[in-house]
Amino acid sequence: GRILVLHGPNLNLLGVREPGHYGRQSLAEIDAMLAAQAQRWGLRLASFQSNAEHALIERIHAARGQTDCIIINPAAFTHTSVALRDALAAVAIPFIEIHLSNVHAREPFRRHSYFSDLALGVISGFGAHGYCLALDAARHFLQARQT
Ligand code: DQA
């Protein structure tokens, strides 16, 4: 299985950014943890972060035919980006939506997502561990699809 992990805007600042919401682990640490787990499970994993909507859209387009499942934390674009939603719909790659914080326990504007109704599922509120949960969910999804 080929998995692409996409990190949206401001997630490059993980570790120092609002640790009460997003924890102390850096993005590099999260990516390293995912890479190690993917290797144990025999999955091929690529990860990409951008603060720019267009760069994330181009990366999604490039994944067409190259990726079996996407794990995406769209960050603030969760609540704003029809364009990113349309990109995922266009390439028709199954995806899992993940948030470090519990978006339902915060400001009301974080409750709406442009992604959740298209996602295989949503993980929110488990901090960096949520990425491990998402990778496990992707693995199970790909295994189930093979049989
Ligand atoms: C986030 C939640 C979003 O509301 C916020 O804009 C982020 C991070 C999360 O991982 O909890 O940047 O996606």
Domain ranges of the chain: 2-136
Residues 6+ apart with CB under 8 A from 34: 5, 45, 47, 131, 132, 135
pLDDT band at 146 (very low <50, low <70, confident <90, very high): confident
Average pLDDT of the segment spanning 75-85: 98
Q: For atom 1 of ligand 1, which residue has the closest CA?
A: 75
Closest C-alpha to 6, from 36, 39, 45, 49: 49
Please identify, by atom number, the ligand 1 atom nearest to the C-alpha of residue 76.
6
Q: Flag whether the ipTM exceeds 0.90.
A: yes
Atom of ligand 1 nearest to the CA of 75: 13
Compute the average pLDDT of residues 122-144.
Answer: 97
Answer yes or no: is the C-beta of 103 below 6 A from any ligand 1 atom. Answer: yes
Q: For 14-23, 59-68, 73-82, 116-125, which range has the lowest pLDDT when averaged over its residues?
A: 14-23
Q: What's the whole-number mean pLDDT along residues 117-137? A: 98
Ligand 1 center from residue 101 Cα (angstroms)? 7
Place of tokens 């295994």: 143
Residue 101 alpha carbon, nearest atom of ligand 1: 11
Q: Is the pLDDT of residue 147 over 80?
A: no
Is the distance from CB of 43 to CB of 110 less than 8 angstroms? Answer: no
* Pocket lining: 34 vs ligand 1, CB cutoff 6 Å: no
Is the C-beta atom of 116 inside 6 A of ligand 1?
A: no
Nearest protein CA to atom 8 of ligand 1, as residue? 75
Task: Give CA–CA dist 55/112, Å, rounded.
Answer: 23
Please state which CATH number belongs to domain 2-136. 3.40.50.9100
